[in-house]
Amino acid sequence: MGSLPAADKPLPALRYPPARRDDDIVDDYHGVTVPDPYRWMEELESEEVKGFVDAQAAVAEAVLSTCDDHRVRLRGQLTALFDHPRYRAPFKRAGSYFYLHNPGLQPHSALYVQHGLGGGEEPDVLLDPNTFSDDATVSLAMFGVSHDGEHLAYGTSASGSDWVTIRVMRVRDRRHLHDEICWVKFSAIAWTRDGKGFFYSRFPAPKNDGAPLGAGIKTSVNLNHEVYYHFLGTDQSEDLLCWEDPDHPKYIYTPEVSEDGKYVILSVAETSEPVNKLYYCDLSALPDGLEGMKGNHGNAMLPFVKLVDEFEAYYALIANDDTQFTFLTNKNAPKYKLSRIDVNEPHSWMDILPEDEKAVLESACAVHGDKLLVNYLSDVKYVLQMRSLVTGELLHDIPIDIGSVNGISGRRDNSEVFIEFASFLTPGIIYRCDVSKETPEMNIYREISVGGFDRTDFEAKQVFYPSKDGTKIPMFIVSKKSIVLDGSHPTLLYGYGGFGMNMTPHFSVTRIVLMRNLGFVSCIANIRGGGEYGEDWHKAGSLANKQNCFDDFIAAGEFLVSAGYTNSSRLCVEGASNGGLLVAACINQRPDLFGCALAHVGVMDMLRFHKFTIGRAWTCDFGCSEKEEEFHWLIKYSPLHNVRRPWEKGHRRQQYPSTMLLTADHDDRVVPSHTLKFLATMQHVLCTSVKESPQTNPIVARIDRKSGHGCGRSTQKIIDEAADRYAFAAKTMGISWID
């Protein structure tokens, strides 16, 4: 039996807690004065901020308590569907296979090891993150297995923070070494081929402000990244400093060891823009190896050679044959290509696989000697091919369904490749492929099955709709089969549109429950700012062109209404991080178009984002308020600075949609003050400063405890948050449960 319609359980009388406004804080930006009355909310550890957070949590819970019927049912259905085995593609080291697996409702996937796949030993748990903490808030953030398969180095993160602590264990007997490496952030674990240690990146320890260094959230700007080499079995204080550059404190370094073990390659970035410098060091040429460098008490850094020393393009290592290196690059190729250079001849660049006219070259993996498994994105659909590493010529196509290739696991010294695939209606398939054969077969190694899900009940399609300037934008629409386009269906519109990130087909238990039990149509708009059509598509939605993202997303909503999928009172928009900014900017610009808005961990203060943690790296996409021209771009759409009363524009009863802002107390990427300041501003402008305000739709925040920007959350936290936000959407849009 279905539940009562949401309208039968009225929302509580909303009393938003007062938030102190400091009208004395006014900044001057190039002659323009901008007040910032909630600046105090940037002091996240203060008692005043904690009190505000607690008061807002009480408001949110009062609203959510009226949604309990939906909440309980959602939680039950989500739990039932999440309770299925999940696997990631295995990778091989010295005869052993390593992979992540969750049998169902465990908080985190565990790392398994299996010695041989055919009739050998049973798989065994190597490392179980579910033992890291009693409340499942410590997660496995990164790991790397040595080339000989003897040692595992792994990084843990507490409460979803970007800060990582690395530890080491011996694979054969699960014994932990005493090694512990702290203050690691934005790093890789790059083992040297001899298995004696690994490269990693870290920041200097934050200054002690009186609080324990491991407590709370650190919001100070991250500067002076460094690269170290850690020798197994030694203290971190003995690690070898391999690279630093105090003259460029904003640089971020990612070390990588070539598959032949001869070189360490250093990628140098300054922002999130797809450009990097490229340095390399011939480890085999060090007279006494890395151990000899360690004995150098002058702490001389590794003798890196600067192969590319300008931020002109992006380069990612694909393979090397001695001094011949092959890179994936966007140098004069916005849709990417493969180029090769002999590092002994710095001007010897030549294209191996030229840029395609239409498809974006997403990735390339060198396997089985001189073969390349390349992955293209064509109209947001994946195309797999086998090519020659030597010449780039096409050997054969590898047919796959419409969906996403989420990972390729293979090496040049092996003919075995694993390919991870999923789509809107395919929970996941891991293919095993022997590429030594003339025509490799894609054999199903593992197929993920979700009990209670029948894909034949649903359909997925792609449409192209015009944006404000006429640009055709692709969008995926997933729904129950054969729905009638009568404008009645609740619809979820999701978007991102930034940093060249692609929104490709993926499976979501949550989306299935929404479609099956609440009648939702689920849509993903591939708006500009993403990388779905390469760097030109990305740049068309960044910097001075950022408004295109919002226009594209608004046009998606208008299309869904005009095509008969939904109406504005039943259209819910959702996005996270840059997508949270997207949602917030769009409800400012078109509050009439949406019935509900869910904005996760959004960048809401476009004038000050660069002042916290790694926010400075986003100026490549947004610009920076310290530059006059860029300030004028930002102030026009910054969510915090553009909350307006719609009813003052002549629409007497017009209001903002029901809005839930989501953040987490340990988000040290997009710090919670973004959401807190935006929340206080919305409540003040639309509600508390107005007598008999037309704004009756709720404006609330869900502030998760002991969580971060989204990574490392337990299964239960994922279920609880999804139940809360979609119960809120269903309640406020008047949607009834369907059994």
What are the residue numbers of the active site? 577, 667, 709
User: CA geometry: angle at 203 spanning 197 and 204, to 5°?
Assistant: 105
Residue listed under structure tokens 């009638």 = 484
Cα–Cα distance, 604 to 659 (Å, whole number): 14
Compute the distance between CA of residue 457 and CA of residue 738 in angstroms, rounded to an integer: 14
DSSP class of residue 504?
A: -
Contact assessment for residue 473 and residue 496, using Cβ atoms and an 8 Å cutoff: no
Residues in CB range of 364: below 8 A, 6 or more apart: 318, 328, 338, 353, 372, 373, 374, 375
Contact 161, 668 (CB under 8 A): yes
| 581 Cα distance to chain centroid | 14
Rounded-to-integer distance, Cα 643 and Cα 637, Å:
10
Helix (H) or strand (E) holding 51: helix 47-65
What is the Cα–Cα distance from 704 to 720, expressed in whole angstroms?
A: 10
Residue with tokens 């052993």: 96
Q: 590 is written with which tokens?
A: 């078109």
- Dihedral sign of CA atoms 661, 663, 665, 671 in order: negative
Which secondary structure element, helix H or strand E, spans residue 579, and what is its range? helix 578-589
Structure-token pair, residue 333: 């190729």
Beta bridge pairs of residue 167: 154, 180
Residue 683 tokens, joined: 């409540």
Q: Which residues contact 522 (CB under 8 A, 6 or more apart)?
A: 477, 478, 479, 491, 492, 494, 508, 511, 514, 515
Say if residues 202 and 262 touch (Cβ distance below 8 Å): no
Are 635 and 32 spatial neighbours (Cβ–Cβ below 8 Å)? yes
Using the Cα atoms of residue 55, residue 60, residue 66 and residue 70 in order, give the sign of their dihedral: negative
383-422 burial, b if ≥16 CB within 10 A, otherwise e? bbbbbebeebeebeebebebbbbbebbbbbeebbbbbbbb
Alpha carbon distance 280, 429 (integer Å): 37
How many CB atoms are located within 10 Å of the residue 291 CB?
Answer: 12
Contact 600, 575 (CB under 8 A): yes
CA 693 to chain centre: 38
